[in-house]
Homo-oligomer: A and B are copies of this chain.
Amino acid sequence: MISKATQLGIPLRPHFKTHQSVEVGRWFRELGVDRIAVSSLPMAKYFATDGWNNITVAVPFVPQHGEMANDLASKIELTLTASTVNGAKEISEKIFENVNVMIEVDTGQGRSGFNPTNFKGIENAIELITKTNNLSFSGFLTHAGHSYKAKPSEIELLNAMAIFEVVELKKRWINRFPQITISYGDTPTSVLASNFDGVDELRPGNFTFFDMQQSSRGVCSPSSIAVALVCPVIAVYADECKAVIWGGAVHLSKDSYLLRSGEASFGAVCNVNSDLSWSSPIDGLFLESVSQEHGVVRAKNSQLLRNLKEGDLVAILPAHSCLTADTMGEYLVLGEGMVGTMRKRT
């Protein structure tokens, strides 16, 4: 991703919500990354303690976090997100330190952000920001998250349409605010699309680990997935084409992806090597369901389970790596040791 951003000439602002770990963050810093996005003020605070001094909170401002934001903004370059007129008002009323504000635009995901044709609302928000001396209007931010549900063949067009919408807004306001930029980029578009003209920074996160949702949609290969949950096998029912692992919703969270057959899967099943690295997914096995601490592995045929026994380990490539990482709260880095996250368990 760093190579691609460099080739495009667009600064990369990786979204650290995927890994939530200062240690993993350092790997990015060693490769030259100097700015990041996060999904909450507490997360911004956490990464600031490790020396990150240019952080965008890419989620609508939480008014309850005013004090935390002021405290952080007195120390680092902080960018907040205004996603409604009243959100901009809350920022203008609660923030008295120097802060950049981006206006969030909904370019098709249907989650948060201004409708890109709501010029009046956007103008009102800009006014609230620009009339406040300590706030700096710094442009438009969008997350084209509908790309997570698109086919690879649809990504280039989806990407062009999403960028078009924010570039039109930038054109409309750039004469009055020459400093404004566009912050853009989810993992599917950042990986698969080629044309980012008009974009001033790329902000993907999931690419850090990838996962089976991305793999099942052609964004990555399973061999690119950088995180797995190693689980003990606790019951094998080969005749029923089923095995049970100690690995459930409290470990993996509960997101799924679709197999080519149309069935939902909660993870791909791999063999585990002695150093805890893992094989490519085993053909014909998938994680059919998860309850609190059980996971049910389904096999296409009983033969696939004949050599599996209670006490064996399997590695599960998660459906959604960000949620699995959050649920577990720490990582074993192969050959190195444990590293924590901001949401480590006691």
Q: A interface vs B, CB < 8 Å? A: 17, 39-40, 59-64, 83-84, 86-87, 90, 110-113, 115, 145, 232, 234-237, 240, 244, 246, 249-250, 253-255, 289, 291-294, 296, 309-311, 322-323, 326-327, 329, 340, 343-346
Task: Give A77 to B344 CA distance when docked, in angstroms.
Answer: 31
Decide: B84 and A310 in contact? CB cutoff 8 A: yes
The answer to whether B59 and A90 have CB atoms under 8 Å apart is: no
* A39 surroundings in chain B (CB, below 8 A): 292-293
Contact A40 B83 (CB under 8 A): no
| 7 residue pairs bridging A and B, Cβ less than 8 Å apart | A17-B292, A60-B244, A64-B232, A84-B237, A87-B310, A254-B323, A327-B327
Question: In the complex, which residues of chain B have a beta carbon less than 8 angstroms from the beta carbon of A40?
Answer: 246, 293
CB within 8 A of A234: which of B17, B87, B244, B255?
Answer: B87
Residue of B nearest to A294 (CB): B111
Residue of B nearest to A93 (CB): B311
Complex contacts, A246 vs chain B, CB 8 Å: 40, 59-60, 62
A112 near B235 (CB under 8 angstroms)?
A: yes
A323 to B291, CA, bound (A): 9
Minimum CB–CB distance from A256 to chain B (whole Å) comes to 9
Q: Out of B61, B249, B340, which one reaches A323, CB within 8 Å?
A: B249
Q: How far is the CB of A212 from chain B (nearest CB, A)?
A: 15
Q: Which residues on B sit within 8 Å (CB–CB) of A345?
A: 329, 343-346
Which has the most chain B C-beta neighbours within 10 Å: A90, A236, A237, A292?
A292
- Chain B residues closer than 8 Å to A293, beta-carbon distance: 17, 39-40, 59
Instruction: Say whether B294 contacts A86, CB under 8 Å.
Output: no
> How far is the CB of A325 from the nearest CB of chain B, in Å?
10
- Chain B residues, CB < 8 A from A346: 340, 343-346
Q: Given the interface contacts A322-B292, A345-B343, does A311 sit within 8 Å of B60 by beta carbon?
A: no
Q: Is the CB of A235 within 8 A of B87?
A: yes
Q: Are B62 and A309 touching (Cβ within 8 A)? A: no
Give the complex CA separation of A291 and B322 in angstroms: 10
A100 CA to B327 CA, complexed, in Å: 32
Residues of B within 8 A of A111 (CB): 244, 289, 291, 294, 296
The answer on a CB contact under 8 Å between A84 and B235 is yes
A227 to chain B, nearest CB (A): 15
B323 near A250: Cβ-Cβ < 8 Å: yes
The answer on a CB contact under 8 Å between B326 and A250 is yes
With A90-B310, A343-B345, A344-B346 already in contact, 13 other A-B pairs whose C-beta atoms are closer than 8 Å: A60-B244, A63-B310, A64-B311, A84-B236, A84-B310, A86-B309, A87-B235, A111-B291, A249-B255, A249-B323, A254-B255, A343-B346, A345-B345
Chain B residue numbers with a CB within 8 Å of A110 are 296
Is B234's CB under 8 angstroms from A59's CB?
yes
A108 to chain B, nearest CB (A): 13
Complex CA gap A83/B296 in Å reads 14
A90 in contact with B344 (CB, 8 Å): no
Question: Do the beta carbons of A83 and B244 come within 8 Å of each other?
Answer: yes
